[in-house]
Amino acid sequence: MDDKIDRIVAARMKLMERFKAKAHEGEAEGSGPSNRHGMPKLPVGQRHVENWPVLDLGIHPMLPEKRWRLTIDGAVHHPVTLTLRDFMELPQVEDTSDFHCVTTWSRMDLAWKGVRLADAIALAELNEDATHVMLHAYDGYTTNISLEEALKPDVLLAHTVDGAPLPREHGGPVRVITPQLYAWKGAKWVKRIELMVGDRPGFWEERGYSMSALPWKNDRYR
């Protein structure tokens, strides 16, 4: 197991180095104190809320442990499918980050636990010409992310929030979180990570939402 983890970490570091020069975090535009990335903690046009609104396609899949699977495929050398047990054996990380919804609300300082999306991608050994990720969910939802965003260390496949299992209505057992992008870029009930050569729109992007979704650029719609 230690050898497997070492390989994943080494592959992830190679990926991070490859995309480091392309990584972008958006312009510092917002209000209040700065976050750990040096940007205003609250992006322009956002308001802080204490509750956690539920926004989705109206379907909350029932996903018991024995049913959940995560497939990583597309432009990769070694497609893989993980059970929940396999997933929980990958390197686990804890991180505190904010959650910015395109509908103008933000929740701050959520404590997450999960697997870095970069580690899941590294497990499948992506092709050199891969440039983007499409996330697929059990409710039929899809959303696209550039690789330079997907590989950021705070982008997680999260199973725990604030010390408790991720609630079903918020994407449990596992969802993607994208703290440096608007939250629609993080698919609930994730089932597939598709590596792509080139970009294509997901569910909301086909309906006029931004392909890049950078909160500090107020980058909501195309």
Domain map (residue ranges) of the chain: 2-217
Supply 116's token pair.
Answer: 């870095």
pLDDT (0 to 100) of residue 67: 94
Mean pLDDT of 14-39: 63
Instruction: Give me the residues paired with residue 164 across strands.
Output: 161
**CA 202 from centre of chain:** 14
For tokens 């729109």, the residue is 201
**In the predicted structure, residue 27 carries a pLDDT above the cut 50:** no
Alpha helices in the chain (DSSP H): 2-19, 84-88, 117-124, 147-150
At residue 28, what are phi and psi to the nearest 5 degrees? -75, 90
Question: For the chain, what is the mean pLDDT?
Answer: 90
Supply 67's token pair.
Answer: 């049913």
Residues above pLDDT 90, as percent of the chain: 74
State whether residue 116 is helix, strand or coil: strand
Strand-pair category, 105-116 with 47-48: parallel
pLDDT (0 to 100) of residue 113: 98
Who has greater pLDDT, 30 or 204? 204
**In the predicted structure, residue 36 carries a pLDDT above the cut 80:** no
Who has greater pLDDT, 155 or 54? 155
Q: Which helix (H) or strand (E) holds 170?
A: none
pLDDT (0 to 100) of residue 32: 59
* Cα–Cα distance, 30 to 43 (Å, whole number): 4
175 conformational bin, left if phi > 0, alpha if psi -120 to 50, beta if neither: beta
CATH architecture designation of domain 2-217: Alpha-Beta Complex (3.90)
* Cα–Cα distance, 121 to 11 (Å, whole number): 9
At residue 47, what are phi and psi to the nearest 5 degrees? -130, 145
User: What are the tens digits of pLDDT across the range 72-115?
Assistant: 999 999 999 999 999 999 999 999 999 999 999 999 999 999 99
pTM (predicted TM-score): 0.88
H, E, C per residue of 148-166? HHHCCCCCEEEEEECCEEC
* Cα–Cα distance, 12 to 19 (Å, whole number): 11
For tokens 């539920």, the residue is 54
